[in-house]
A and B are shown apart, each in its own frame.
Chain A
Amino acid sequence: MQLLQNLINALQLGSFYALIALGYSMVYSILMLFNFAHGDIFMVGAYIGFGVATGLIALSKMGALAMPNWLILMLTVIFSMFLTSFVGMFVERVGYRPLRDAPRASAAITGLMIGIILETGNLILLGAEQLSFPSLVQTATYNLGGIYITNQKIMIVALSIGLAFALHQFIRRTKWGMAMRAMAFDYVVVPLMGVPLNKIAAMTFALGSALAAAAGIFYGIAYPVLDPYMGVLFGWKAFVAAILGGRGSVVGATLAGFLLGFIEIFVPMIFPSTIRNFIAYSIVLLILVFRPHGFFGEPYSARLRL
């Protein structure tokens, strides 16, 4: 019973990791760089979600635009994903594009710095207080033979898997997705196909950031506390999931995100929870020893140079 209960919790936690990991993985695959600011974009997305939700609730309460809660939630997710995608494109334009041909280490520290700027910027703007995310989903708990499932958890897991699936289809079936796969293999010659590299890069950051925003809102719904540093640990763990899943692999990043969720939830069933992360990430390390490129992953050209 406990096992199944934990399974549900693991799926929810895994959803956050998976959604954030997708952004890491896509950017890594097309530009060979790790966007270490991505965890903080998740945080910014959660705050944007908070702002949008609060605004919509106020509008609805004033009677200016009476909306049911489910509609507010839908609109919050859509608007926040849209707005956060611009944050991602801005980060790409200002932080990474000028460094496209610079050593990778420069791009990596740029990401870390952008992350710190986003965290402290938020601190300056909104203060250190934690915000509690407005409750948009009337919690309903279903008792399935002793296992308690909330409607929130079902929604979060289903929407996360749905978004990952949509991304997978986008990458497999559209010409923009095809351009992303080509860039993953050999971005240097992609312009010779008439493909504007910068547009594909911007689009990839936008997609990843939108998914991170969705994760941020889901997090807000599940936990419901936001603070400026919430993206740090989540970001690192999602980064681990991205590597574990394999470069550029949507399926890999999603599975690895869920796997991390499972490991983190199930380890404390056997071991004391104080050593939870110790055990969890030792397992991850062990997997990487045997599969250094992760589960899946797009191949890439041996000569990524002109």
Chain B
Amino acid sequence: MLLTVENLRVSYGNIKALHGLNFQINEGEIVCIIGANGAGKSTTLKAISRLVPVEDGTKMTYQGNDLLDYPADKVVSKLGISHVPEGRRLFDNLTVIENLKLATFARKDNDQIPNDVQRVFSIFPRLEERQNQKAGTLSGGEQQMLAVGRAYMSGRKVMLLDEPSMGLAPLLMMSMFDALKEINQEGTTILLVEQNARMALQFAQRGYVLENGNLVLEGPSEELLENPEVKKAYLGG
């Protein structure tokens, strides 16, 4: 077990967002959490990244480390858990290469960094062409590539992906998922949350279904794809 989450509870003020989630991720897996808008998918990822505070009783363990001992920046730099946030959140005022370099801020292995930049460029050649352009001038697809590339640079034991398909045309979406598969095959464990349930379940090996802050279903992707409830609620019948 790489990452174990027990009784994850998060509130925003008086509003309870997550009511006690339990899930595990094994090393090398691709796992997805599907659910409707507002179900708590993004909050789940933010809780793992320590961007939002969790309530007492929550337990999150990563490779035997208590995640709650780590502040957000150390989750990335010490544990190697990177996060592609909702809406990409690139630094529009920095260039492509600066966005990639910033993600290595706390890394100590300076001589490895140029190789990783080259690796990102080989996965996403468009980024190499645009490396000196401001991130704000990129197209939507290129921005998503940079968001993933940036996460790759910051740490890649685990990659948390928040709606990587959002706003992408079908073809671009396919090639994005191909790229993610490539990254996964190099040893990065992937946890993604998606509204696009079909795409996510075809990509992942296992899935969880999140409804109103509760995990209501879990199982191998093929099973969830055949599950009548999932079909009805998320796959358009």
Measured CB to CB, the closest approach of chain A to B42, in angstroms, equals 9
Residues on B with C-beta less than 8 A from A303 are: 87
Instruction: Let me know if B77 is at the binding interface, CB within 8 A.
Output: yes
Instruction: Let me know if A301 is at the binding interface, CB within 8 A.
Output: yes
Contacts A192-B51, A192-B76, A195-B106; A178 near B98 (Cβ below 8 A): yes
In the complex formed, the residue of B with least CB distance to A175 is B105
Q: Which of under 10, 10 to 19, 20 to 34, or 35 or more describes the interface residues of A? A: 20 to 34
Residues on A with C-beta less than 8 A from B52 are: 306
Q: Are B92 and A193 in contact (CB under 8 A)?
A: no
Instruction: Let me know if A203 is at the binding interface, CB within 8 A.
Output: no
Task: State in angstroms the CA–CA spacing of A197 and B106 once bound together.
Answer: 12
Partner of B102, one of A178, A184, A197, A306: A178
Q: Are A193 and B49 in contact (CB under 8 A)?
A: no
Supply 5 A–B pairs (Cβ within 8 Å), ascending by A. Answer: A181-B93, A185-B91, A188-B51, A195-B106, A301-B89
Instruction: Let me know if A299 is at the binding interface, CB within 8 A.
Output: yes
Task: State in angstroms the CA–CA spacing of A189 and B83 once bound together.
Answer: 10
Partner of A182, one of B49, B76, B102, B151: B102
Q: Are B73 and A197 in contact (CB under 8 A)?
A: yes
Residues on A with C-beta less than 8 A from B83 are: 192
Residues on A with C-beta less than 8 A from B181 are: none
Give me the interface of A with B, judged by CB distance under 8 Å: 175, 178-179, 181-182, 184-186, 188-189, 191-197, 298-299, 301, 303, 306
Q: Are A184 and B106 in contact (CB under 8 A)?
A: no
Task: State in angstroms the CA–CA spacing of A181 and B51 once bound together.
Answer: 20
In the complex formed, the residue of B with least CB distance to A176 is B105
Residues on B with C-beta less than 8 A from A184 are: 93
Residues on B with C-beta less than 8 A from A185 are: 91-94
Additional 10 contacts, C-beta under 8 A, given A175-B105, A301-B89: A179-B105, A185-B93, A191-B49, A193-B73, A193-B76, A193-B150, A194-B73, A194-B76, A194-B155, A306-B52
Q: Are A189 and B89 in contact (CB under 8 A)?
A: yes
Measured CB to CB, the closest approach of chain A to B78, in angstroms, equals 9
Measured CB to CB, the closest approach of chain A to B137, in angstroms, equals 12
Partner of B72, one of A179, A191, A298, A299: A191
Measured CB to CB, the closest approach of chain B to A293, in angstroms, equals 14
Q: Are A178 and B101 in contact (CB under 8 A)?
A: yes
Contacts A178-B98, A185-B93; A196 near B51 (Cβ below 8 A): no
Q: Which of B74-102 contact A (CB under 8 A)?
A: 74, 76-77, 82-83, 85, 87, 89, 91-94, 98, 101-102
Q: Are A189 and B85 in contact (CB under 8 A)?
A: yes
Q: Are B87 and A192 in contact (CB under 8 A)?
A: no
